[in-house]
Chain A
Amino acid sequence: MTSFLTLFYKELLRFWKVAFQTVAAPILTSLMYLLIFAHALEGRVTVYENVGYSAFLVPGLVMMSVLQNAFANSSSSLIQSKVTGNVVFMLLPPISYLEFFSAYVLAAVARGLVVGAGVLAVTVWFVDLPVRAPVWVLAFALLGSAILGAMGLIAGIWADKFDQLAAFQNFVIMPLTFLSGVFYSIHSLPPFWQSLSHLNPFFYMIDGFRYGFFGASDVAPATSLTVVGVSFGVLSLITLAMLRTGYKLRH
């Protein structure tokens, strides 16, 4: 237990020591998104009855920050350790693969939630945001960030260089997040793109998270929770298998 707690603490300390870059910067970015998109689209797009576009946008931005930062935390921490070689400090001690996985994923969840809470705190002043089902909000934030934390571990284990990690981020994570309905409802899309969106697990994370605020969503929240829960289960098993076999970590 001490091994796990120490590794978890180290991962928290790592992002907290550079909080300006890991917490403040993404909050500012989200605020920019809100100001620009709200200015351009407020009053022109209506998604749900009685919900203005800015209010619709805020949960999407919060969840996007949660997801992106959870991914950034585990992936960049691991790739840095691999590239600089200090990953050896974690490979020499008797840390089990389950402890390793839990520490990295939970630290990613923590970073995701801290940034998400920060984004919510600065954007909520601009809109009138109800919170109809807070438990759903929390459930999707936790599961979503855990999924991205696990994906970050997979990417960090797989990548040998920073540019490979950047490719993973730019060609997998970014398209999946931007095409998940952060900025729009998928009902506004042509049928083909609507059905394609249903294959994107990120869509269910955003849609379910949004349900927690408005009590309305594109698909039933229970369905979203199931998809998100199963995704987390599958990704966890893949990550654990990689860690157990020592793929790219222990030769």
Chain B
Amino acid sequence: MPSAIRIRDVRKRYGALQALDGVSLAIEPGEIFGLLGPNGAGKTTLISVVAGLARADSGSVEVMGADVVGEYRRARRMLGVVPQELVFDPFFTVREALELQSGYFGIRKNAGWIDEIMHNLDLTTKADANMRSLSGGMKRRVLVAQALVHKPPVIVLDEPTAGVDVELRQSLWKFVRSLNREGHTIVLTTHYLEEAELLCSRIAMLKAGRVVALDSTKNLLENFSGLYLKLRLDRQELPVDFFREIVSRDGDLYTLKLADFAELEGVLARLREGGIAIIEFEVQPPDLEEVFMRIMNRSE
């Protein structure tokens, strides 16, 4: 079975900017794959190349085995893209927009499926409303619906929850998970690391057009297995020999950084030897944000 998306050494330059600098990665069927990176890292450019909205200077991209240039018709039928910008055609109603999108993909009679998507995205009551009259959140749902009209096996969501309220974010996450359960491969770009940690089974981190990390979310978190120890003590000052571990201090609340749980015992022993009593104690495992920051700094 071919990869859902296979990207081979893709390069793309816009004037002086090398937007993509030799990106290679493969996304397998059934994954929820996260594409992370700071602004300008090349996430949207990469998605544009996959979707045929931009052409790579070199390298190749396949969607379910179909080359996005040579076999663009097959490749595009396999792919549903939810664009980042909140775009819409002000001339049409929700239903018209979905029927037109369906027709562009060569599907003539699609009313049943369109009704089902509208139902799943809570758009049924707005079916005959003009696109202009919808709120931002509703327009975002229509964009998701438009990406699904042709039942693509691979769905790409470019920052789907940017500027979206908490409620819609939660319902979009739920919807993405249910699409994934039904067998769709999902590719997600996001600024919200929490979102990636929650949803994605694997993650690629991009920086300046290069892949700087590519692993399962679990491995990424484990490889950066440092942990934080928060301590409130019975006295104001920690002895000098703790300075190496201190990350921050807020009054009598210290945050210490440890390499792993094994170091914890040593710290507690040293405190005991110094006759320092602990009033409050909390251990925090690393989150994706920490991993992200460390990878981004490491690849300066």
Contact = CB atoms under 8 A, between A and B. Distances in A.
Interface of A: 2-3, 5-7, 9-10, 13-14, 17-18, 81, 84-86, 88-96, 246, 250-251
16 contacts: A3-B105, A6-B100, A13-B96, A84-B88, A88-B87, A89-B87, A89-B100, A91-B52, A92-B53, A92-B81, A94-B72, A94-B76, A94-B106, A251-B14, A251-B48, A251-B55
Contact of A88 (B72, B83, B105, B106): B83
B40 interface: no
Nearest to A1: B106
B91 A92 contact: no
A84 B89 CA distance: 8
Interface of B: 14, 48, 51-55, 72-74, 76-77, 79, 81, 83, 85, 87-92, 96-97, 100-108, 146, 150
A18 B91 CA distance: 9
B14 to A, nearest CB: 7
A84 B106 CA distance: 24
B70 to A, nearest CB: 13
A93 B76 contact: yes
Contacts of B102: 6
Contacts of B92: 13
B53 A10 contact: no
A89 B150 CA distance: 13
Interface centre among A6, A18, A93, by most chain B C-beta atoms within 10 angstroms, is A93
A86 B87 CA distance: 5
A88 B104 CA distance: 12
B85 A92 contact: no
Contacts of A7: 103-104
A48 B56 CA distance: 60
Contact of A250 (B55, B77, B101, B103): B55
Say what secondary structure dominates the interface of chain A. Answer: helix
A90 B81 CA distance: 12
Given A9-B103, A13-B96, 12 more contacts: A2-B103, A3-B104, A3-B105, A14-B91, A81-B89, A85-B87, A89-B146, A90-B104, A91-B53, A93-B101, A93-B106, A96-B73
Nearest to B102: A6
B106 A89 contact: no
Contact of B103 (A6, A85, A88, A91): A6
A32 B99 CA distance: 40
Contact of B51 (A85, A90, A92): A92
Contact of B52 (A10, A89, A92): A92
Contact of B89 (A9, A89, A93, A96): A89
Contacts of B51: 92
B52 A250 contact: yes
A94 B53 contact: no
A250 B45 CA distance: 11
Contact of B77 (A2, A10, A88, A94): A94
